[in-house]
Amino acid sequence: MPYYGCHLSISKGFEAMGKDALFIGADTFAFFPRNPRGGQMRPLDELDIQRLKQLLQDHEFGPLVAHAPYIYNMATGDPEASAVVRQRMKEDLERLDHLPNVYYNIHPGAHVGQGQEQGISNVASVIKDVLSEGFSTPILLETMAGKGTELGGQFQELAAIISELDSDPQVGVCLDTCHVSDGGYDVAQDLDGVLDELDQVVGLERLAAVHVNDSKNPAGSHRDRHELLGDGTLGLDFFRSLVQSPRLKDLPMILETPNKKLEGYKREIAMLRAFEQGATVQEAQSQIESEPTQ
Ligand code: FE
Ligand code: FE
Ligand code: ZN
């Protein structure tokens, strides 16, 4: 059984995220370990973390998926910028090591004109340096839409990074449904074919989390604009097959859809759970509409 959740705000602390997750029927969630623009971290509140740990245990949560700030560019060729990214990643991982069962999800970065090969080797050297500190939290490289010089739009780029890391088992992959489609992998038409390709190029055993997003744009657009489930080019039939796929069971499935309120995520999670139980698109929709909104 997959776990379902969405990206939550850490502004009220760790336990508050756990409570928000329960409110929307989630049993996993994602969060930025610090301000998404990469600012200072607040001091560690041990008691708050303890309370979250208890909540996660009491309610049988799956793995959590922390997201590195978007501003980190591991592929940068600028030594000073690279030093800042390494330092920040080490601080993030030091913090995450206080939580049980959490992944650190990061965008590989953009090579900004140095070329794909140089970018890939920069990413690998940053990860190698960071992991040399002995953190235990796994790092997940996200599949990207391939916007501009962004790395990770092709599975081969992720495979090349992992191979430069001597296939370190601490490095995995997070599949973003909007990004892979935008990157040119037509998941809406052929989910199994795309998973076969991911398996051949990277290895499905490295797939540790899924970002569940519809896309505003057609496959291959390289745009990266997320849409609410069912309102985009992927469609509800696709999300139904996604959560029913035996190859994706037990993975945390994280919504990053443009809902303005938690209630929107609550409805999307209820719909995904109904799909998993075998409901048709119409059944799932009417089931959700009959539910009282709190
Ligand atoms: Fe992401
Ligand atoms: Fe994502
Ligand atoms: Zn995105």
Instruction: Give residue 31 CA to ligand 1 midpoint distance, Å.
Output: 11
Instruction: Give residue 106 CA to ligand 1 midpoint distance, Å.
Output: 7
What pLDDT does residue 292 have?
60
Which ligand is the nearest neighbour of the Cα of 177? Answer: 2
Instruction: Give residue 142 CA to ligand 2 midpoint distance, Å.
Output: 7
Instruction: Give residue 141 CA to ligand 1 midpoint distance, Å.
Output: 9
Which ligand is the nearest neighbour of the Cα of 109? Answer: 1
Instruction: Give residue 211 CA to ligand 3 midpoint distance, Å.
Output: 9
Which ligand is the nearest neighbour of the Cα of 67? Answer: 1
Contacts of 240 (CB under 8 A, 6+ apart): 275, 280, 281, 284
Q: Find, among 24, 13, 77, the residue nearest to 46 by Cα.
A: 13
Contacts of 61 (CB under 8 A, 6+ apart): 3, 18, 21, 27, 28, 55, 101
Instruction: Give residue 12 CA to ligand 1 midpoint distance, Å.
Output: 22
Instruction: Give residue 280 CA to ligand 3 midpoint distance, Å.
Output: 27
DSSP 36: T
Instruction: Give residue 51 CA to ligand 3 midpoint distance, Å.
Output: 31
Instruction: Give residue 213 CA to ligand 2 midpoint distance, Å.
Output: 8
User: What is the secondary structure of 139-197 as a DSSP string?
Assistant: EEEEP----TTBS-SSHHHHHHHHHHTTT-TTEEEEEEHHHHHHTT--TTT-HHHHHHH
Tell me the C-alpha distance between 87 and 129, whole Å: 10
Tens of pLDDT along the chain (294 residues)?
A: 999 999 999 999 999 999 999 999 999 999 999 887 777 888 889 999 999 999 999 999 999 999 999 999 999 999 999 999 999 999 999 999 999 899 999 999 999 999 999 999 999 999 999 999 999 999 999 999 999 999 999 999 999 999 999 999 999 999 999 999 999 999 999 999 999 999 999 999 999 999 999 999 999 999 999 999 999 999 999 999 999 999 999 999 999 999 999 999 999 999 999 999 999 999 998 888 876 654
Instruction: Give residue 290 CA to ligand 2 midpoint distance, Å.
Output: 30
What pLDDT does residue 50 have?
97
Residues 72 and 87: beta-carbon distance below 8 Å: no
Which ligand is the nearest neighbour of the Cα of 69? Answer: 1
Tell me the C-alpha distance between 60 and 5, whole Å: 13
Partners of 182 in beta bridges:
none
Which ligand is the nearest neighbour of the Cα of 6? Answer: 2
Which ligand is the nearest neighbour of the Cα of 209? Answer: 2
Pairing verdict, β 252-255 and 226-227: unpaired
pTM of the model: 0.97
Instruction: Give residue 54 CA to ligand 1 midpoint distance, Å.
Output: 27
What are all long-range contacts of 196-203, with beta carbons under 8 Å and residues at least 24 apart?
A: 197/155, 198/155, 198/173, 201/155, 201/156, 201/158, 201/159, 202/155, 202/158, 202/159, 202/162, 202/173
Instruction: Give residue 258 CA to ligand 3 midpoint distance, Å.
Output: 11
Residue 151's Cβ-side half-sphere holds a number of Cα atoms within 13 Å equal to 32
Tell me the C-alpha distance between 14 and 44, whole Å: 10
